Amino acid sequence: MSLLVVGSVAFDTVRTPFGEITEGLGGSATYFATAASFFTDVRLVAVVGEDFPKEHIAFLKQRRIDLAGLEHSMGKTFRWRGEYGYQLNEAKTLQTDLNVFQTFHPKLPFSYTNTPYVFLANIDPVLQLDVMKQVSSAKLIACDTMNFWIDGNKEGLVKTLAGVDILIINEGETRALSGEFNLVKAANKILSLGPKALIVKRGEYGALMFNGKKIFTVPAYPLESVFDPTGAGDSFAGGLMGYLAQNAPDGRIGDKVLRQAAIYGSVMASFCVEAFSLDRMRSLTQDDIRRRYAEFVDLSSYEYQT
């Protein structure tokens, strides 16, 4: 089944203790779409400026990502500059130039409006809601958000969440959105706002998935070298949603398929952080993905009989 992502395409300038990259390809929609493209057909809605090079277009096309929804605007592409210390879980933003993303108002090509699977990356919840209206027959909608919207437009966000099936956010966002420090209590509050499932991303510690009945602990892959955590969260969402679009075609997300999807999310995030920008995705194969899923099993399985 086709999967739509609405979000950002950007140039990221990133410094970590292990190196740096200047104006590498980045953005939430880029990471998500690329990760998901290993599982299903992806349609992308985003905006770039006049400076967006053909080679990036060629890469996305090579991943068979539908770019009918990629708007080319007068002006410059969104740029982000940040750095990470050894504690790679949190980026320090040094500069944000929204440029053409500032006035981004996602408008779906007609060919996209029947897309059954939808991921709303971290954009203004008002725009997220507007996209939801444009894909009124969607079977499954997931979304991300950030503290900027939780603090700045909680009312709008709550309206959006009422129509969302899966919310994928990090620990700090979970606490800010719910007003609860304890994650179990926080999850119960957030699920009461509408989502059928909440996935709390915890960086190198993996993730927790809540569906109101059960909790699933999603392991992270302990890597010997993490080069750049930028995009890990969107790659996680891309792996998860891509797997669901491929394996839950009726849009019903049972516990079993959702758990497997979360593991694939963690698999794709583990590849993402192995190199700067999307570079690890450029050489990634289906065999690599299968092998790492098997490594996750090896990493987290134990005898269930006592």
Interface contacts to a second copy, rule CB under 8 A: 86, 181-185, 202, 205-206, 208, 214-217, 219-220, 222-226, 256, 259-260, 262-263, 290, 293, 297-304, 306
Q: Choose between 88 and 120: whose C-beta lies nearer to a second copy.
A: 88
Closest approach of a second copy to the CB of residue 263, in Å: 6
Separation between Cα atoms, residue 40 and residue 33, nearest integer Å: 10
Separation between Cα atoms, residue 122 and residue 131, nearest integer Å: 13
Q: Using alpha carbons, select from 252, 254, 241 the residue that is nearest to residue 39.
A: 241
Q: Choose between 111 and 192: whose C-beta lies nearer to a second copy.
A: 192
Closest approach of a second copy to the CB of residue 51, in Å: 36
Closest approach of a second copy to the CB of residue 202, in Å: 7
Partnered with residue 202 across adjacent β-strands are: none
Q: Write the CB contacts of 173 (distance below 8 Å, at least 6 apart in sequence).
A: 145, 146, 147, 150
Closest approach of a second copy to the CB of residue 257, in Å: 9
Separation between Cα atoms, residue 204 and residue 191, nearest integer Å: 24
Q: Write the CB contacts of 299 (distance below 8 Å, at least 6 apart in sequence).
A: 219, 221, 222
- Rounded to 10 deg, the angle between the 232-247 and 28-36 helix axes is 40
Q: Choose between 155 and 287: whose C-beta lies nearer to a second copy.
A: 287
Q: Choose between 110 and 304: whose C-beta lies nearer to a second copy.
A: 304
Closest approach of a second copy to the CB of residue 301, in Å: 7
Separation between Cα atoms, residue 244 and residue 249, nearest integer Å: 7
Q: Choose between 64 and 256: whose C-beta lies nearer to a second copy.
A: 256
Closest approach of a second copy to the CB of residue 304, in Å: 5
Strands 92-97 and 78-83: antiparallel
Rg (CA), the chain: 18
Separation between Cα atoms, residue 104 and residue 138, nearest integer Å: 22
Closest approach of a second copy to the CB of residue 21, in Å: 20
Q: Choose between 136 and 179: whose C-beta lies nearer to a second copy.
A: 179
Closest approach of a second copy to the CB of residue 246, in Å: 11
- Are 94 and 71 spatial neighbours (Cβ–Cβ below 8 Å)? no
Give me 190's structure tokens.
């957030």
Q: Write the CB contacts of 152 (distance below 8 Å, at least 6 apart in sequence).
A: none
Instruction: Return the DSSP state at 246.
Output: H
The helices-and-strands tally (H runs, E runs) of the chain is: 11, 13
Q: Choose between 250 and 303: whose C-beta lies nearer to a second copy.
A: 303
Q: Choose between 47 and 191: whose C-beta lies nearer to a second copy.
A: 191
